[in-house]
Amino acid sequence: MKRKSILSILLTGALAISLVGCGGSKTDNSTGSASSEEKTITIGVTPVPHKDIVEAIKPELEGKGYKVNIVEFTDYVTPNTSLEEGELDANYFQTIAYLDETNEGKGLHLTYTKGVHLEPLAVYSRKIKAIKEIQDGATVAVPNDPSNEARALRVLENSGLIKLKDGELVTPKDIIENPKNLKFEELEAAQLPRVLDEVAIAVINGNYALEAGLSPAKDAVFVEDANSEASKKYHNVIAIKKGNENTQKIKDLTEALTSDTVKKYIEEKYSDGSVLPVF
């Protein structure tokens, strides 16, 4: 019995040492994985100009040891839900106004580090050459998401076509003067360039205008004032989840996207004023 007890003790001790060894190995692997994750930046973008601009800074970030994953989206909803769920480290596609509206409307916990650029909103047409030529009863297409729709309606107000009530998220119901009896069609922003043949005018977001080959300087019948105080809330920003502001990779990403390299890239590639650096 005594010999059997000693043998049991020895076997138990060996098993304990073995388990400690396995635990140490797991900790090392976890540490290695976390380190790898810290050197990977996954950023969501819409195609133009956001993807192009991030591609321009990719070599700089890779030079700092990062692996950069660029995830392309074609809508305005999924990049924010993906960021909220931790599938992205950051996204770069939206204005401050849209980010605020999404946080409030969907209960998200997102913020931003800095603004990178402004895409002036513009009115386009294939039927008229000047905004004053629009006919009575004509149809006007605007984005249907609240922040972009309000922005589009303010642009139309500044053009002299309508007058709106005071307020932030105005809609066509808030029009108090409409002397030309214009009709409003509210569409998803991505669809607006496709309906230019069907409507008198369309107020189109800068990125979708660029994708459709439209330039505010060459093709628009009216352009938003990019230097107004109101335009600041329409700066396109680097969005992140709250709490990640001080991580090193977010600091490095922000520094790269607001560098002289990016400013020069934007000014040279978008010399027609369709994209304007704001840093």
- CA 270, distance to chain mean position in Å, is 18
What span, in angstroms and rounded, lies between the C-alpha atoms of 241 and 44?
13
Could you write out the DSSP letters of every residue in the chain?
-HHHHHHHHHHHHHHHHHHHHHHHHHHHHHHHHHHHHHTEEEEEE-IIIIIHHHHHHHHHHHHTT-EEEEEE-SSSSHHHHHHHTTS-SEEEEEEHHHHHHHHHHHT--EEEEEEEEE---EEE-SS-SSGGGPPTT-EEEEE-SHHHHHHHHHHHHHHTS-EE-SSSS--GGGEEE-TT--EEEEE-GGGGGGGTTTSSEEEE-HHHHHHTT--HHHHEEEE--TTSGGGGGG-EEEEEETT-TT-HHHHHHHHHHTSHHHHHHHHHHTTTTTSEE--
What span, in angstroms and rounded, lies between the C-alpha atoms of 248 and 230?
32
- At 36 the pLDDT is 75
pTM: 0.81
pLDDT in tens, the chain (279 residues): 434 433 343 334 443 333 333 333 333 333 344 467 889 999 999 999 999 999 999 999 999 999 999 999 999 999 999 999 999 999 999 999 999 999 999 999 999 999 999 999 999 999 999 999 999 999 999 999 999 999 999 999 999 999 999 999 999 999 999 999 999 999 999 999 999 999 999 999 999 999 999 999 999 999 999 989 989 999 999 999 999 999 999 999 999 999 999 999 999 999 999 999 999
Q: Name the CATH topology of 122-225.
A: D-Maltodextrin-Binding Protein; domain 2 (3.40.190)
- At 34 the pLDDT is 46
- At 35 the pLDDT is 66
Four-way CATH pick for 37-120+232-277: 3.40.50.10470, 2.40.50.140, 3.40.190.10, 3.40.50.970: 3.40.190.10
CA dist 219 to 45, 186, 258, 272, Å?
25, 22, 29, 11
CATH 3.40.190.10 domain extents, the chain: 37-120+232-277, 122-225
- At 32 the pLDDT is 40
Amino acid at 130: A
What span, in angstroms and rounded, lies between the C-alpha atoms of 3 and 237?
73
- At 21 the pLDDT is 39
What span, in angstroms and rounded, lies between the C-alpha atoms of 266 and 272?
10
